[in-house]
C-alpha cells in the first residue's frame, strides 16, 4: 500500500451510484407529435372491403404483436357454395368459447344444407313477358344479409360499418367477424367472462327486505332492476363516458313518472364530461353534483336493487356504472339520508321510532363532543352538581385540557376505524374490540384521559354508525371537528352561530335543482316522508318537490277489500 494511495482514498470523493428515475416533462415537439397521433386515432375509419387491409389495420390497432390476449382466427367461410376468406377478432378470456365454436364457427365453416345451394346468386322474384321481352325482377344476392339471416344462429348480431363501433364492442367481450368483399363487419354477442354472482349486500343490511346486491357487471344490474320494476316504460339509456375507457353508464328512469326536465338535465351532465376514464360510481358522483365544496352528499349511493326500484317508482333517476356495484340515485334530499329500505317494510310505528333514533344519532354524532367541550369550558352550571363533581374528580389526574383530550380521543377513534378496514379478517373484529375497550381502559387507568370523555366519544362513535348512509355519516364526522373547535373557542355562542351557518349552507345546497332541505324546511302537505313516515294507507302522493308526471301513488281508499260497501264516488 502506497502512502499516496492511502491519502487519495481518504480525501477524494467518489460519488455513489444511485438509481434515479425521473419522469421528464413533455417538450414542445413531443406534445405536437402526441396531438397528431391523437387526431389520427380519433378519426373514424370505415371498414374496407379488402380482407387483408382490414386484417392489417386491426392488427396494428390492437398491437397484436405485443398484446397476448388478442386473438385473430382466420378461416374460410362457405356461403351459397362460394368460399370467402374471413377472420374473427376477439379477446381471450372475455368470450364464451363454446358459443363461439358451436354457433359461429361451425355453421360458417362446415357444410350444411343451406350452404349447398349454389350457382344462382340472384333470386327471381317475378317475371313478366310482353312482346317477347322478358322483364324479370331480380333480387340481388346480399351476402351480408344472407349470412346474418340464414347462416348464423346466434341471438345478437349487428352489422357495423365503422371500426370504432367494432372495437368498442370487442373490448366489452363481443367478437367481430370480417369477411372478404364486404365493407361491413358483424358484431356478435359471445360474452362469457367470469364475474361475481349476486350476493348479499355488505354495507346495507336490513332485517326484513331482500338480500340481493348489485354486482360489477352492468347488464346483471340492469336485469335486477328490470325484474323489480317489471314495466315496459322503464327506460335504460346507455351513455359512454371517458375518452379512453368508454365506460358504459346506464341512465334509468320510468318514462311516465320521471320529470322530463330532470332526465334531460342528468343526460346533459353525463354527456358533457371530458375525462379520460370513469372507473367507479364514486367518481361519477363527484363529477356531476352541483356543489363540491361542501362535503354534504347530494346523491344517494346504494347497492340494493330494491331500494333503487322504490326510488325509481318515486320518479327519480338512477345511474349505474359498469364496474361498480353501486347505483347513484338523483336527486337526493336531506331526509333520504336518514331512511333505510326497512322503513317501508316494517309497520309505521316501528319505523317512525327507529327513524327518530336515527335523527337523535345524527344530532349526537354532529354535536355531542362540541357541546361537551362548550359546557366544560364555559357553562358548567348546566351540569347537575353531582355529575360536575364526578367529572372534576375524574379530571384530577389528567394533565391535558379538555380540548386536547377530546381531540386525542377522536383522532384515535378515527385511526382505529381506518385501521379496522384494512386489518386481515381473522383479527379484524378483535382489533376493534381491543382498540376500543382495552386501550381506552388503559388510557383511563394511566390518567391520560378521563372516563367521562371515553363515554362521550363512544356514544358519538356508535351514533355515527347508526346513520344509514355512509357518505352522510362521514360528512358528520368531518363537521364534528368544526363544532369542537367552535365550542372550545366561544362556547354556546360558537356552536349556535356555527349551527346557523351550517343550516344556512344546507338550505342553499341543491341536488339537481331541488333544495336539499325540501322535505323539512317549508313544511308542505304533500311530502315524500320527512320527520315522520305516514301509515301505508296515507301514502297517496309522490313527493311534490320531484314534480313527477303522476302525482298520485295510490287511491284514497287503497284497501278496497276493507270497504266493499263504498261506492265509487265516495272513494274520490
Partner 1 sequence: MKHLLKVVCFVIIFVILTVSFSNSYTRVNLDNIAVVVAMGIDKGENNKLKVCFQFTNPSSISESGSSETASTILKSVDASSISSAINSMNSYLGKELTLAHCKLVVFSEELAKEGISDIIYTLMNDAQTRPSCNIVISKCTAEHYINNSKPFLEPLISKYYELFISSNQFTGYTSNATLGKFFDNMICQSCDPYAILGGINLQLPDSSQDALTNKETSDKSNSASLSGNTVSENVGLAVFREGALVGELNAIETLAFMCIGNEVKGFLISVPNPQVENQNVDVYLTPKANTKIDVSLVNGSPYITVDCKYCGQIYSMTNDSNYLDSEILSRISESCNRYLEYIFTEYLYKTAKEYKSDINAIGKNSLKLFSTIDEYETYGWREHYQDSFFDVSAQVNVRSSSLLSDS
Partner 2 sequence: MTDSKITSKEAIMLVVTIFVSHTIVTLPQNLLSNTKSATLINLIYVGIIAILLAYVIYRLLKNFASLDIIDISQYLGGNVLKSIVGGIFIAYFIVTSSNLLREFCEGLRVAFFPMTNILSILVPFILVLFITNYLSFSSNVKTISLIFPLVLISIVFLFFGNFGNFSFERMFPVLGKGFADTFITGIGNIFAFSGISCLYFIPPYLKEPNQMKKICLSSVIIGLMYFLFCTATILLLFSFFVDVDEVLPLYSAASYIEFGIFFQRLESFFMLIWILEIGSYLIVTNRFSISIFQKITNLKFHKPLAMIFPLLIFGIALLPKNYSIIRFLESNIYAYFIIAIVFVFGIAILFLANLKKRKEKRVKPQKIQ
The residues of the shown chain that bind partner 2, judged by CB under 8 A, are 375, 378-379, 381-382, 384, 490-497, 499-501, 503-505, 507-508, 515, 517, 520-524
Report the distance separating Cα 203 and Cα 103, nearest Å. Answer: 41
**Contact partner, 391, from partner 2, partner 1, none, Cβ < 5-8 Å per class:** partner 1
CB under 8 Å to 343, separation ≥6 — which residues? Answer: 351, 354, 355, 529, 533
Smallest separation (angstroms) from partner 1 to the CB of 376: 4
Output the smallest distance, CB 499 to partner 1, in A.
16
3-state secondary structure 150-199: HHCCCCCEEEECEHHHHHHHHHHCCEEEEECCCCCEEEECCECCCCCCCC
* Rounded CA separation 357/99 (Å): 54
Site residues for partner 1, 448-477, by CB under 8 A, read 451
Q: How far is the CB of 517 from partner 2 (least distance, A)?
A: 6
User: Can you tell me the distance from the alpha carbon of 233 to that of 255, in angstroms, rounded to the nearest whole number?
Assistant: 5
By a kind-dependent CB cut-off of 5 to 8 A, residue 390 interacts, out of partner 1, partner 2, none, with partner 1
What residue 215 binds from partner 2, partner 1, none (CB within 5 to 8 A, per partner kind)?
A: none
Taking CB under 8 A as the criterion, the residue among 97, 101, 181, 380 binding partner 1 is: 380
Rounded distance between C-alpha atoms, residue 405 and residue 407, angstroms: 6
Say how far apart CA 271 and CA 256 lie, in whole Å: 23
Judged by beta carbon distances under 5 to 8 A according to partner kind, the member of partner 1, partner 2, none in contact with residue 245 is none
Near partner 1 by CB under 8 A, which window of 125-133, 158-166, 171-179, 387-395?
387-395
Considering only 393, 437, 478, 559, the residue that binds partner 1 (CB under 8 A) is 393
Q: Which of 242, 494, 519, 528 binds partner 1 (CB under 8 A)?
A: 494
Query: Exposure of 409 by Cβ count < 10 A (0-12 exposed, 13-18 middle, 19+ buried)?
Result: buried
Spatial separation of the C-alpha atoms in residues 470 and 297, rounded to whole Å:
10
Sequence-distant (≥ 6) Cβ neighbours of residue 88 within 8 angstroms:
71, 72, 73, 75, 100, 104, 105, 175, 176, 177, 178
- From partner 2, partner 1, none, which one binds at residue 389 (CB under 5 to 8 Å depending on kind)? partner 1
* Residue selected from 167, 479, 483, 488 as contacting partner 1 according to rule CB under 8 A: 488
Considering the complex, what minimum distance in angstroms separates the CB of residue 504 from partner 2? Answer: 5
CB of 334 to partner 2, least distance (A): 11
Q: Does 409 bind partner 1 (CB under 8 A)?
A: no
Please identify which residue in 288, 328, 402, 454 interacts with partner 1, judged by CB under 8 A: 402
218 contacts 322 by C-beta, under 8 angstroms:
yes
Please report how close the Cβ of residue 515 comes to partner 2 at its closest, in angstroms: 7
Q: Is 396 in the site for partner 1 (CB under 8 A)?
A: yes
Q: Is there a contact between 75 and 105 (Cβ–Cβ < 8 Å)?
A: yes
Is position 57 an interface residue for partner 1 (rule: CB under 8 A)?
no
As given in the structure block, the three cell numbers for residue 46 are 370505415
Closer of 72 and 489 to partner 1 (Cβ): 489
The grid coordinates listed for 363 are 344530532
Smallest distance, Å, CB 507 to partner 2?
4
Residue 367: name its binding partner from partner 1, partner 2, none (Cβ under 5 to 8 Å by kind). Answer: none
Give the three cell numbers for residue 463.
Answer: 351514533
Q: Residue 505's binding partner, choosing from partner 2, partner 1, none, with beta-carbon cut-off 5 to 8 A by kind?
A: partner 2
- Smallest gap from Cβ 499 to partner 2, in A, equals 7
Query: For cell 317512525, what's the residue?
Result: 352
Q: Which does 492 bind (CB under 5 to 8 A by kind): partner 2, partner 1, none?
A: partner 2
Determine the angle formed by the axes of helices 260-271 and 281-288, rounding to 10 degrees: 110
The residue with cell 382505529 is: 416
Q: Write out the residues near partner 1 by the rule CB under 8 A.
A: 376-378, 380-381, 385-386, 388-396, 401-402, 451, 485, 488-491, 494
Amino acid at each position: 500500500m502506497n502512502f499516496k494511495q492511502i491519502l487519495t482514498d481518504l480525501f477524494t470523493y467518489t460519488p455513489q451510484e444511485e438509481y434515479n428515475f425521473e419522469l421528464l416533462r413533455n417538450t414542445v415537439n413531443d406534445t405536437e407529435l402526441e396531438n397528431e397521433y391523437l387526431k389520427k386515432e380519433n378519426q373514424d375509419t370505415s371498414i374496407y372491403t379488402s380482407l387483408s387491409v382490414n386484417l392489417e389495420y386491426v392488427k396494428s390497432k390492437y398491437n397484436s404483436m405485443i398484446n397476448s390476449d388478442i386473438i385473430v382466427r382466420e378461416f374460410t367461410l362457405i356461403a351459397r357454395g362460394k368460399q370467402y376468406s374471413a377472420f374473427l377478432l376477439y379477446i381471450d378470456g372475455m368470450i364464451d368459447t363454446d358459443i363461439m365454436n358451436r354457433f359461429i364457427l361451425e355453421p360458417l365453416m362446415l357444410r350444411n344444407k343451406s350452404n349447398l345451394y349454389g350457382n344462382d346468386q340472384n333470386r327471381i322474384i317475378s317475371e313478366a313477358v310482353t312482346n317477347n321481352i322478358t322483364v324479370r325482377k331480380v333480387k340481388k344476392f346480399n351476402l351480408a344479409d344472407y349470412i346474418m339471416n340464414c347462416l348464423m344462429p346466434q341471438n345478437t348480431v349487428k352489422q357495423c360499418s365503422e371500426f370504432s363501433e367494432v372495437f368498442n364492442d370487442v373490448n366489452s367481450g363481443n367478437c367481430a367477424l370480417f369477411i372478404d368483399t364486404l365493407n361491413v363487419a358483424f358484431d356478435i354477442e359471445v360474452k362469457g367472462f367470469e364475474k361475481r354472482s349476486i350476493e348479499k349486500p355488505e354495507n346495507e343490511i336490513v332485517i326484513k327486505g331482500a338480500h340481493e346486491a348489485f354486482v360489477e357487471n352492468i347488464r346483471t344490474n340492469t336485469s335486477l332492476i328490470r325484474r323489480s320494476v317489471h314495466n315496459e316504460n322503464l327506460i335504460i339509456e346507455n351513455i359512454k363516458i371517458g375518452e379512453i375507457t368508454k365506460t358504459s353508464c346506464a341512465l334509468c328512469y320510468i318514462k311516465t313518472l320521471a320529470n322530463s326536465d330532470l332526465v334531460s338535465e342528468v343526460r346533459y351532465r353525463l354527456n358533457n364530461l371530458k375525462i379520460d376514464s370513469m372507473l367507479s360510481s364514486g367518481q361519477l358522483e363527484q363529477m356531476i353534483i352541483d356543489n363540491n365544496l361542501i362535503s354534504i352528499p347530494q346523491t344517494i349511493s346504494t347497492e340494493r336493487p330494491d331500494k333503487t326500484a322504490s326510488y325509481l317508482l318515486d320518479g327519480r333517476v338512477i345511474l349505474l356504472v359498469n364496474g361498480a356495484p353501486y347505483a347513484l340515485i338523483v336527486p337526493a334530499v336531506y331526509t333520504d339520508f336518514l331512511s333505510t329500505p326497512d322503513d317501508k317494510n316494517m309497520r309505521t310505528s316501528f319505523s317512525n321510532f327507529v327513524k327518530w333514533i336515527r335523527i337523535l344519532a345524527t344530532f349526537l354524532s354532529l354535536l355531542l363532543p362540541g357541546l361537551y367541550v362548550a359546557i366544560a369550558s364555559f357553562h358548567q352550571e348546566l351540569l347537575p352538581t353531582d355529575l360536575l363533581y364526578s367529572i372534576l374528580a375524574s379530571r384530577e389526574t389528567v394533565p391535558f385540557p379538555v380540548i386536547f383530550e377530546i381531540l386525542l380521543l377522536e383522532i384515535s377513534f378515527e385511526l382505529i376505524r381506518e385501521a379496522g378496514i384494512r386489518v386481515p379478517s381473522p383479527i379484524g373484529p378483535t382489533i376493534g374490540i381491543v382498540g376500543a375497550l382495552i386501550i381506552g381502559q388503559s388510557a383511563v387507568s394511566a390518567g391520560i384521559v378521563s372516563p367521562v370523555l371515553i363515554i362521550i366519544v363512544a356514544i358519538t362513535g356508535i351514533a355515527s354508525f347508526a346513520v344509514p348512509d355512509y357518505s352522510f355519516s362521514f360528512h358528520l364526522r368531518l363537521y364534528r371537528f368544526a363544532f369542537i373547535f367552535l365550542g372550545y373557542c366561544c362556547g354556546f355562542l360558537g356552536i349556535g352561530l356555527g349551527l346557523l351557518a351550517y343550516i344556512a349552507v344546507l338550505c342553499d345546497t341543491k341536488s339537481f335543482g331541488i333544495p336539499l332541505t325540501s322535505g323539512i324546511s317549508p313544511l308542505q302537505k304533500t311530502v315524500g316522508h320527512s320527520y315522520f313516515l305516514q301509515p301505508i294507507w296515507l301514502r297517496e302522493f309522490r313527493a311534490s318537490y320531484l314534480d313527477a308526471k303522476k302525482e298520485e301513488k295510490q287511491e284514497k281508499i287503497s284497501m278496497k277489500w276493507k270497504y266493499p260497501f263504498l261506492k265509487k264516488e265516495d272513494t274520490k
